Structure 1
Amino acid sequence: MTRRMPTYFISHGGGPWPWLPQMRAQFRNLEASLKAMVAELPDLPKAVLVISGHWETEDFAVMSAAHPPMLYDYYGFPQETYSITYPAPGAPGDLAQRTASLLREAGLPTRLDARQGFDHGTFAPLYIMFPEANVPVYQVSMRHGYSPEEHFALGRALAPLRDEGVMIVGSGLSFHNLRMFGPAAKVPSEAFDTWLDDVLHEAPARRTQSLIEWEKAPYARVCHREEDHFVPLFAALGAAEGETATRIYHDVGLMGGVTASSYRFG
């Protein structure tokens, strides 16, 4: 019998960091946490479903390619990082269609997308977690507008997949203001991270409401000028809404001043 998979919200690091030795050293704590995630799983996943802060559409799109291409959605890195490959297969069998059906049953606008490729919010952390690319990987997009309620609903709709061997990962960053990486990030990222940890340890119903109202958090719009890297949290938690949150990664002073965290639910 398949055991229920936990869900995760991860801070996924910057660009193609696993392939750049200096960046990889900077993200050594993140790397350790990603490896520990795999070690703590009840079984090898049937597939990993990623909601990445780097893919949003007008609806909720489900990646359906058998062999998804690569999407190099970063700028200013060495030329060799634009030929990286992460050759994991896409959703196995009818899993993409099963996923889309769950979303439609929940009343969410949904379509299959056979062209979308793995973005770095997916292939960078997955390379650390499953370096042999031997576990199928597929993505579900965020929806334009970033509605917290809709993305909690997305997670709730995806929840049955956890009992079918699918590992659900919301991939973003708990602090994402590219203009403030460095010492200027210290105060706002620490304050926001403290608020987030406090909220995630509230009772489930209160926790959900606090996150829906996340803009009331200290420095909310300083830490997230746009919430594309925060929204994946709503989906990951929606799929495990009544379950315990555990912080599995915490860095202070990252990239010169950033405090960042990752969480497991369940």
Structure 2
Amino acid sequence: MALKDTFYISHGSPTLSIDESIPARKFLEKWKKDVFEQRPTSILIISGHWDTAVPTVNVIQTINDTIYDFYGFPRPMYQLKYPAPGAPNLAKRVKELLNKSGFNRVAEDEKRGLDHGAWVPLMLMYPEADIPVCQLSVQSNKDGTYHYNLGKALAPLKDEGVLIIGSGSAVHNLRAISHHGSVAPWALEFDNWLKDALLEGRYEDVNHYEQKAPHARKAHPSPDHFYPLHVAIGAAGDDSKAKLIHSSIEHGTLSYASYQFTSNSN
């Protein structure tokens, strides 16, 4: 079963896991009904919370551990589990494809489970936790084009029924969040620029967002939550069409904008 779609999901705050008032939670809970009805053979998720010097895949033979990589949140969040099976064969395939495309230093991690950038959205999208999941890291010391090419190398996975998901946040400045007041104008301006660039197919502008986008450094003081988007675009291809599938901003500066990329290739 071949898939034509890749996705970028903004996972926002870890409280998405328990807070039913967050609009993005309702969007993710309706995933299989309203967004993507096909059942993938496995899932490759690229999370902004796994940042390594070289591309790294988790090679888990049994069940993925649930990693609580957040601090000071309500106790119930640390009791949640997402026991999705590992996808060791997919991990090996990812490494093979990356090596073939010139990413010669690809590492394996046989112990690391799923961080909250992976398990929180997946818990809402696929609550049964019965689809094998492999996670791939980002490299914040590289750039958008590098991650686009990383995604491009992974495109053949779609023909094998693998669902490729980038998980980050369209705007991610934790130092600027506010629990009171309206959306910061600069955050909205960046969010709207990104939407227009993607829907108009200006993927090269997104690859070079630091020079092209307004308030780029303020929207992403670190690029780790943005690079999963570039992987998703690259895996979809130059001819893909972008669709905004959710839009909301919490705490003034935290965008949950999420996108679907559909390839026009046969």
TM-score w.r.t. length of structure 1: 0.90
Closer, same or farther: CA 191–260 of 1 in aligned 2, 3 Å? farther
The equivalent position to 2:125 in structure 1, one of 129, 133, 142, is 129
Q: Distance in 1 between matches of 2:247 and 2:218?
A: 20
- 1:30 counterpart residue number: 24
Shift in Å at residue 256 of structure 1?
Answer: 4.4
Matches within 5 A, 1:89-168: 89-91=85-87, 94-108=89-103, 109-168=105-164
Closer, same or farther: CA 260–12 of 1 in aligned 2, 3 Å? closer
Shift in Å at residue 3 of structure 1?
Answer: 3.1
Identity across the alignment (%): 39
Task: Identify the range of structure 1 (78-87 vs 49-58) with the bigger mean alpha-carbon deviation.
Answer: 78-87
Shift in Å at residue 153 of structure 1?
Answer: 1.0
Closer, same or farther: CA 87–259 of 1 in aligned 2, 3 Å? closer
Shift in Å at residue 5 of structure 1?
Answer: 4.1
> Cα deviation per residue 1:157-211 (whole Å; 9 max; x = unaligned)?
11111111111110000111111112475201110011001110234xxx23201
After TM superposition, the runs of 4+ consecutive aligned structure 1 residues lying more than 3 A away are: 256-260
> Cα deviation per residue 1:213-256 (whole Å; 9 max; x = unaligned)?
2013111111111111111100000001221000000114x224
Aligned-partner SS, 1:141: strand
Whether 2:42 is the aligned partner of 1:43: answer: no
Q: Distance in 2 between matches of 1:64 and 1:16?
A: 28
- 2:2 counterpart residue number: 3
Q: How many residues get paired?
A: 255
Shift in Å at residue 125 of structure 1?
Answer: 0.5
Matches within 5 A, 1:1-266: 2-19=1-18, 23-25=19-21, 27=22, 29-39=23-33, 40-41=35-36, 43-66=38-61, 67-91=63-87, 94-108=89-103, 109-182=105-178, 183=181, 185-203=183-201, 207-216=202-211, 217-241=213-237, 242-252=239-249, 254-256=250-252, 258-266=254-262
Q: Distance in 1 between matches of 2:31 and 2:261?
A: 12
Task: Identify the range of structure 1 (219-228 vs 63-72) with the bigger mean alpha-carbon deviation.
Answer: 63-72
The one-letter amino acid of 2:3's match is R
> Cα deviation per residue 1:66-109 (whole Å; 9 max; x = unaligned)?
222221111111233223211000115x2211111001101112
Q: Distance in 1 between matches of 2:253 and 2:195?
A: 18
Which runs of no fewer than 5 residues in structure 1 stay unpaired? none
Task: Identify the range of structure 1 (40-49 vs 220-229) with the bigger mean alpha-carbon deviation.
Answer: 40-49
8 Å Cα contact 1:184/1:257 also seen in 2:
no
8 Å Cα contact 1:5/1:167 also seen in 2:
no
Aligned-partner SS, 1:248: strand
8 Å Cα contact 1:193/1:260 also seen in 2:
no
